[in-house]
Amino acid sequence: MLQLRKSGERGRIQTDWLNSHHSFSFGSYYDPRFMGFRSLRVINEDAIAPKGGFPTHSHQDMEIITYMISGTLEHRDSMGNLEIIHPGELQRMSAGTGIQHSEFNASGSEPAHLLQIWIEPKERGITPGYEQRFVRDVVQPGNLGLVVAPEGKGGALTMHSDARLYAGILEKNQKLTYILPPKHHAWIQMIRGKLSLNRTSLQAGDGAAISEEDQLQLLASKSSEFLLFELY
């Protein structure tokens, strides 16, 4: 079973510095049909104008992942981290017992384009944590690269949740098949390009929830980049 979430049907919040598209209900955007999928709670595609950003705010008991598509983002938090996130880098932050952080476009002239992802942890009240890594070098065209996983398996960043996150790149006419274990689910989030998923067309910004399927067959009709979440 496959449920398509078209890019143009997502919720949208626009201000003088932020253009954000929400795959799931978030903030002032509410859609009872899209409250999340399994432990996946937020996928926001954010475009942040130069010098714009989110002032210091709090999080608790959530796995927060930022994937930079283009531009740069300055991150500061109450754990003492001060980092710049560059294109192709992925940041994982475990909010746990509570953190405060801010995020601002690090450029005075170029917009920042990113995906912000929230996944529910399997345990509450853990010690907050932070990791950041360039991940595009583990993704070979035509294959999936494991970038976040429980206990950092396979050299991935650590996820305190029953989920795995893969990044994928397919050049035009490349295809791959992913075997989904029994009773597991998946969500695919398109970043760029166009491909078919089990003969359903997906384009940039589209998402798809997959349940009760034993394999995912992907074929790119143009160069494509996407994320694949395996959810237990």
- Looking only at the bridges linking them, the beta strands covering 185-197 and 207-210 are antiparallel
Average pLDDT for 208-232? 97
Each residue's pLDDT tens digit, 104-137: 999 999 999 999 999 999 999 999 999 999 988 8
Which pLDDT does position 156 carry in this prediction? 94
pLDDT at 154 over 90: no
| Residues 74/52, Cβ–Cβ less than 8 Å | no
pLDDT at residue 155 greater than cutoff 90: no
CA angle 95, 10, 222 (to 5 degrees): 100
Q: What is the mean pLDDT of residues 161-185?
A: 96
> Mean of the pLDDT values across residues 92-101?
97
In the chain, beta strands by DSSP E: 2-5, 11-14, 18-22, 40-48, 53-59, 63-70, 73-77, 82-85, 89-94, 99-105, 112-119, 129-134, 144-150, 157-159, 163-170, 175-179, 185-197, 200-203, 207-210, 215-231
